[in-house]
Amino acid sequence: MNKDNIYSFHSQLALPFLESNESTLDHIFSILEQKFHLKPGSKQKFIDLGSGNGQVVIFCALNYNIYSKGIEINSYLVEESEERIEELKKKAKYDKKRFKNIHIKQGDLFDQNLERYDFIYIFSLPTMQKYLNHVFITAKKGTIIISYKYPLANFAFLEILHTTNIKIKKDEILIYFYKKV
């Protein structure tokens, strides 16, 4: 196993694929639209750090028609994302132009410069958040950061603006909305 494969393997252990509950996405994006000025069809940019199978990125691009990027280290999940996009294209439910807003890239979320993005989405375990400081610091002031399930603790440059509790059957899922100050 070469050095890059070892790093990728360890990264996936530290931050395993944890899928956001798809039924929460309508609620999350509705809040972004109502409280944080997400404008469908605008020049705004969205990124999902650790995009897994691409569901959040695909949802954003197809439903809000803005540039939507996903960064995922696992090549199999990138491939799954691409297959999912192709299947959706075949169904012809969405305008083909919206698919041009979907960008799934294999890469390391810890190597990202976030200065271009208006919205950052992350589903991170609390144990790995200490490694995110240098990533979030690259975000421009005013960027909205959405943290699925876990609060982002100990980031002096993030201000909590809103928390919502979404009930899915018997589960309660907390979503945290921050602003880079």
Task: For 135-156, write each residue's pLDDT tens digit.
Answer: 999 999 999 999 999 999 889 9
% of the chain beyond a pLDDT of 90? 74
- Residue found by looking up tokens 């132009």 in the block: 97
- Between 21 and 9, residue with greater pLDDT: 21
* pLDDT for the residue numbered 168: 82
Backbone angles phi, psi at 140, to 5 degrees: -75, 155
Task: For 23-50, write each residue's pLDDT tens digit.
Answer: 899 999 999 999 999 999 999 999 999 9
List, in order of start, the domains of the chain with CATH numbers: 22-180 (3.40.50.150)
Q: With bands split at pLDDT 50, 70 and 90, how would you rate the model's confidence at 52? A: very high
Q: Distance between CA atoms of 105 and 51, rounded to whole angstroms? A: 9
* pLDDT for the residue numbered 92: 85
The whole-model pTM stands at 0.89
